[in-house]
Amino acid sequence: MKTIAIDFETANEERGSACSVGLAWIENGRIVRVEERLIRPRDMRFSPFNVAIHGIKPVDVEDAPEFPEVMDEFIEDFRDATMIAHNAAFDFSVMRASFDKYRQSYPQLSYLCSVKMSQRVWPSLPSHKLNIIAHHLQLRFVHHNAAEDAVVCAAAAIAVAKAVNVEHIHHIPEKIGMVAGRLHAAGYAPCTMRKR
């Protein structure tokens, strides 16, 4: 069972403006591979607000491939994978909007939200933002770097699996009352939590 954490950074407020993606592969409770790619957004409009968050400027992505080319490299990895994002509603809306912009169909996969996981498993934390989770797990990282965010997201999912005593991350939902999100050619379903 393939398990991959993903994080997108966007050039502006539009979901279809991905300018960076980070990926972290998980096998047997360990992070085994990390990749980061810059993405050239189709319209190249960078908002000062977004640049202030992640530091990626137009000049950084001038020679980068556009979204379809970047996704082509990983699409086989995504197929039938369990994917995780910290605030999955955001990252998978970026993925959908970007595929939509290029009129491409979505890969078939299921996805989990590490924010929702951490809220359920560590309710006493002051917040469930990625930097707070990283501090809780005693990890140092550069926030809003897509690869580093994906690594912390993956580490959070591994820690949650241990906390709820399951062998594999895709077993977490049944333990905590989560319904995995789905992406497929015909559309998507969001990742949700059942009320307790």
Task: Give the CATH number, domain containing residue 55.
Answer: 3.30.420.10
Cα–Cα distance measured from residue 90 to residue 68, given in angstroms and rounded to the nearest whole number: 19
pTM, rounded to two decimals: 0.96
The type of residue at 91 is: D
Q: Structurally, how many domains does the chain consist of?
A: 1
65: pLDDT strictly greater than 80: yes
Tokens 């991350």 correspond to 169
Residue-averaged pLDDT of the chain: 96
pLDDT band with cut points at 50, 70 and 90 for residue 3: very high
Quickly state the pLDDT bin for 42 (edges 50, 70, 90): very high
Q: What tens digit of pLDDT does each residue of 116-141 get?
A: 999 999 999 999 999 999 999 999 88
Q: pLDDT at residue 196 above 80? A: no
pLDDT tens for 157-173 read: 999 999 999 999 999 99
Considering the chain, what percentage of its residues have pLDDT values greater than 90?
95
What's the confidence (pLDDT) of residue 147? 97
Nearby residues of 50 by Cβ (< 8 Å), 6 or more positions away: 9, 10, 11, 12, 13, 56
| CA separation for the pair 193, 196 (Å, rounded) | 9
Domain range enclosing 103: 3-193
Confidence of residue 142 (pLDDT cuts 50, 70, 90): confident
> Using CA atoms, how far apart are residues 179 and 190, in angstroms rounded to an integer?
8
Pairing of strands 109-113, 181-184: antiparallel
How many CA atoms lie within 13 Å of 165's alpha carbon, on the beta-carbon side?
0
Cα→Cα distances 65→13, 39, 95, Å: 20, 6, 16
**Among 49, 59, 36, residue whose Cα is nearest residue 10:** 49
Tens digits of residue pLDDT in 100-119: 999 999 999 999 999 999 99
